[in-house]
Amino acid sequence: MLTRGPKRFYKIVDVKPDGASSAVLLDGKPVKTPAGRAFVASTRALADVIAEEWREQGERIVPDSMPLTKALNTMIDRIAPHRDAIVDDLAKYAGSDLLCYRAGEPAELVRRQSAAWDPWLAWARDHHRAQLCVTTGMAPIQQPAMALERLRAAIASHDDDHLTALHPAVTITGSAVLGLAFVARALDAEEAFAAAQIDEDYQAERWGRDAEADAVRARRLAELRAARRFIDLLD
């Protein structure tokens, strides 16, 4: 269910160049972030799509219907000011990456995990020289320090805009590897989400789907799709 916000307080939405960036104007006044910072997009393409989100609002503003506005607010108010902490948080996922913890049985689940996850561990090895270890079960394993350092460096190499998209990609999938591949455009939102849902989908096939879980699933996939569109508009 979409959350209704305040009444619409503007009529005209414009985009204005701001140096190399672009600002969104409401009735000629620049938009501010929730923290009061300048709401400026890195590219005109991103600003134009965000402006359209504002134009499409009805009598009341519905924040959940403005995913790119939300993403840019997140970048400006959270990612940029706390960049090092964000990088540290995302890097921790590499130490317990979803792709490294496998089922021992049943055979079909083992097969699906291997088919979906092995190629991305190989991708991390080939693209980032990060060889992660795989185990059966949930008991924690210690990953090679060099692999973790290289994945952290890969995460830190992204600018604030791309780090904004990387954050949901990693936290939603539970995998630093899938997140990095997603931002590198090696796989799209649907592919990343499907890879992360191997276990859940297998259990749903056996025991049936749950409406509440499906609603959460839909929200997470929508967030990944918004992250993909966000980075596509940066080029």
Using the predicted structure, report yes or no on whether residue 43 has a pLDDT greater than 70.
Answer: yes
Average pLDDT over residues 209-226: 93
83-232, what's its fold?
ATP12-like fold (1.10.3580)
Token output for 84: 């090092």
| Residue-level pLDDT at 138 | 85
Strands (E), 74-146: 101-102, 135-136
3-class SS at 8?
coil
Q: What are phi and psi of 197, to 5 degrees?
A: -105, 15
Q: What angle do CA 29, 35, 41 make, to 5 degrees?
A: 55
Using the predicted structure, report yes or no on whether residue 200 has a pLDDT greater than 60.
Answer: yes
Q: Which residues of 174-210 are buried (b: 16+ CB within 10 A; e: fewer)?
A: ebbbbbbbbbbeebebebbbebbbbeeebeeeeeeee
3-class SS at 29?
strand
By the 8 A CB rule, do 205 and 218 touch? no
By the 8 A CB rule, do 124 and 151 touch? yes
pTM score of the predicted model: 0.94
Residue the block writes with tokens 């049985």: 105
**Rounded Cα gap, residues 100 and 128, in angstroms:** 16
Query: If you compute the radius of gyration of the chain from its CA atoms, what whole number of angstroms results?
Result: 20
Token output for 195: 């890879």
| Domain limits, the chain | 13-79, 83-232
Using the predicted structure, report yes or no on whether residue 1 has a pLDDT greater than 60.
Answer: no
pLDDT tens-digit readout, 57-113: 999 999 999 999 999 999 999 999 999 999 999 999 999 999 999 999 999 999 999
Best CA proximity match to 61, nearest among 8, 1, 126: 8
pLDDT tens-digit readout, 134-153: 999 889 999 999 999 999 99
Does the fold of domain 83-232 match that of domain 13-79?
Answer: no
> Which of the four CATH numbers 3.40.50.12780, 1.10.3720.10, 3.30.565.10, 3.30.2180.10 does domain 13-79 have?
3.30.2180.10
